[in-house]
Structure 1
Amino acid sequence: MTFSSRLMGYFFCTLAMIGVGSTVVASKLIAHGLPPFTATAMRFALAFPLFLLAMKLMGETWPRVSAREALLLVLQSGSGSVGYTVLLLSGMRLTSAADAGVIAGSLPAVAALVAIVALRERPGALTLGAVALATVGVFVCTMHGGDASGSAAKGASSSMLLGNVFVLLAVLCEALFILLGKRLRTPVSPLQMSTLMSGIGLALSLVPALIERPWILHYERMAVAGVIYYALVPTVGGFMLWFAGAERIAGAQAGALTAFVPISAAAFAALVLHEAIGPAQWWAIACVLGAVLLIACDGVRLRGNGASSLKRSEYPRPRCR
């Protein structure tokens, strides 16, 4: 692999992660203008045909899976696509985009923690340190508003705390997606997986969306623009960019670039939403970045030693989340 090819790999993966970071700002715009299931169904309705077109252009067909694996795919989409999106949108009604970006950026460490607890995988010291750092970062981010005074300020702080909990639950849903993926025995390509998750997600979100009676809603322009952006740029565009870059660089190097998620989220929150980034949030971002880099170093160490522990749960793919 030439230096210029690796450089392009870094560039493509970085752009993909910046796009993922921007989803919290898009979600903030969506959350205040559309109910969560309606917005989720709209997003998948836009993304699914584009993934189908990509499959046709790439000559890929549907994977043949057993009934057990079909159920796993439904559970994956229910958690990692619908659950993640609905919980993120619900959280964004209450919390700031900067806080949500920090919590979302902890996903690699959360995924490792889920693998440790649920699969009894034996992590290295670096991964344990990453989980601890990410936990501190999320705690700092979640509790930084707790020193507010006055009843109104305390009420706003409580709402923000609840919003952060929703975002953390969304990240746990994404970690569950990764865990369920480890149970699949039939090889499924990244494009097939993104298409399946988008299509199943659309089917699962339709009935709850109808309960929200979308035909009587007032569709705010910014909310609709946020859905279109979310579907086209971070979802479809992010998929293309990530895998165009990931094939040019090592997995640990690509995974380390997930550090751009909380950074880009904070930048977009400040530039687009004019949110103030306080010292506690900067400390939380630093903790999450440290966690991502520790997991990246552990990934390099494991590959160097020929070990396989946590190798599949190190970094989530930024597919149709």
Structure 2
Amino acid sequence: MTAPNVPAAPRLAPAGLVYLLITSIGWGLTWPVMKHLLGEWPPLSARGWTGMAGAALLALLALASRQSLIVPRVQWGRLVLSALLNVTSWLTLIGLALLWLPASEAAVIAATMPVWAALLAWPILGERPTLKRTLALLLAFGGIAALMGGNGLAASLSKLPGIVLALAGSFGFALGTVTAKRFPVKLPPLTSASWQILVGCVPVVIGGVVFEHPDPQVLSAVGWSSMAYMTVVQFCISYACWFAALARLPASVAAIGTLLVPVIGVVASAIVLHEPLGPGQIAALVMTLAGVLLATRS
């Protein structure tokens, strides 16, 4: 008896995997870079101005790729909503969270975004939560509980504002992701990214000017290098590679591939910033990544 013909699984495009790896490395290294920059510049100004510059570079890249920058009038409402959720809230809340948390721990909490997205898909998209998604949420909260352990009650309470802010930022990004599926912004990828980052960074920059009064003269050479890294790598190269990866890989593969981001963030923060990498941090990373894997595979 001959075996039935079973279609082979489609091969993953090597170029897509390379783009995904570049994206994960770029975003992962942003965590220690941003944490260092906060020692020289306040969070809203650091995030807002680098985002504005990154949006300009993405716009130039879009033009070079022959993508129109014109936004139809009917798309502006969706674009602004997506920008406020995916950019404004993320940059603001995560930037402030780093004032209370090490970069490695903020990266772990931020990795819970796919879990929130899986839960929000029920009321917004009608996708009922499964048992796996419920377990994913429990694992993610278990990871956060491991981070709350600290070195005692005082250490835990001192982390609480940062944990709340990081969770709020992750939740807002997840809400923006699910809302974008319900009300998609119909623009070319680079055009959409450049406009969303630009629009989303405007409130962040205004907040920095009003409340922080940043002084460029206080930035050291390392500080300027950090600003350049966030502008070119975080907002331009990584986003461009992300869209290139999405064009060549299944969405599920791309989503799981981004799990490298918190891993790289944790390891890089331990090496560059000498942040602790003990049993608590490792347990939190493992539990959070396990929860995210369950959420993305269910």
- Mapped partners of 2:222, 2:118: distance in 1: 36
Asked if the contact 1:84/1:171 (under 8 Å) is kept, the reply is yes
Task: Report the alpha carbon displacement of residue 213 of structure 1 after superposing the two structures with TM.
Answer: 2.4
Structure 1 residues 1-321: aligned runs within 5 Å = 6-62=13-69, 64-66=71-73, 69-141=75-147, 143-145=148-150, 147-148=152-153, 154=154, 156-185=155-184, 187-211=186-210, 212-215=212-215, 218-298=218-298
Task: Report the alpha carbon displacement of residue 31 of structure 1 after superposing the two structures with TM.
Answer: 1.9
Percent of pairs with identical residues: 26
Task: Report the alpha carbon displacement of residue 46 of structure 1 after superposing the two structures with TM.
Answer: 1.7
Q: Which digits, 9 at most, give the CA deviation of each residue in 1:224-279, with x for residues without a partner?
A: 32222112112211122223333332221121112212211111111111112121
Asked if the contact 1:9/1:248 (under 8 Å) is kept, the reply is yes
- Mapped partners of 1:103, 1:74: distance in 2: 26
* Equivalent residue letter for 1:234: Q
Asked if the contact 2:49/2:205 (under 8 Å) is kept, the reply is no
* Equivalent residue letter for 1:111: A
Task: Report the alpha carbon displacement of residue 84 of structure 1 after superposing the two structures with TM.
Answer: 1.0
- Mapped partners of 1:186, 1:87: distance in 2: 24
Q: Secondary structure at the match of 1:254?
A: helix
Asked if the contact 1:47/1:235 (under 8 Å) is kept, the reply is yes
Asked if the contact 1:46/1:228 (under 8 Å) is kept, the reply is no
Q: Which digits, 9 at most, give the CA deviation of each residue in 1:63-97, with x for residues without a partner?
A: 54445x42332232223212211211211111111
- RMSD of aligned residue pairs (Cα, Å): 2.4
* Equivalent residue letter for 1:200: V
Task: Report the alpha carbon displacement of residue 187 of structure 1 after superposing the two structures with TM.
Answer: 1.8
Asked if the contact 1:82/1:205 (under 8 Å) is kept, the reply is yes
- Mapped partners of 2:42, 2:133: distance in 1: 37
- Mapped partners of 1:205, 1:162: distance in 2: 19
Q: Which TM-score applies when normalising by structure 1?
A: 0.81
Aligned length: 289
Task: Report the alpha carbon displacement of residue 144 of structure 1 after superposing the two structures with TM.
Answer: 1.7
Task: Report the alpha carbon displacement of residue 118 of structure 1 after superposing the two structures with TM.
Answer: 4.8
- Mapped partners of 1:171, 1:251: distance in 2: 19
Q: Which TM-score applies when normalising by structure 2?
A: 0.87
Q: Which residue of 2 aligns with 1:308?
A: none
Greater than 4 Å deviation, 4+ residue runs: 117-120
Task: Report the alpha carbon displacement of residue 2 of structure 1 after superposing the two structures with TM.
Answer: 8.3
* Equivalent residue letter for 1:193: S
- Stretches of structure 1 that go unaligned for 5 or more consecutive residues are 149-153, 299-321
Q: Which digits, 9 at most, give the CA deviation of each residue in 1:134-156, with x for residues without a partner?
A: 22222322x121625xxxxx2x4
Asked if the contact 2:122/2:128 (under 8 Å) is kept, the reply is yes
Q: Secondary structure at the match of 1:121?
A: coil
Asked if the contact 1:253/1:296 (under 8 Å) is kept, the reply is no
- More deviation, 286-295/86-95: 286-295
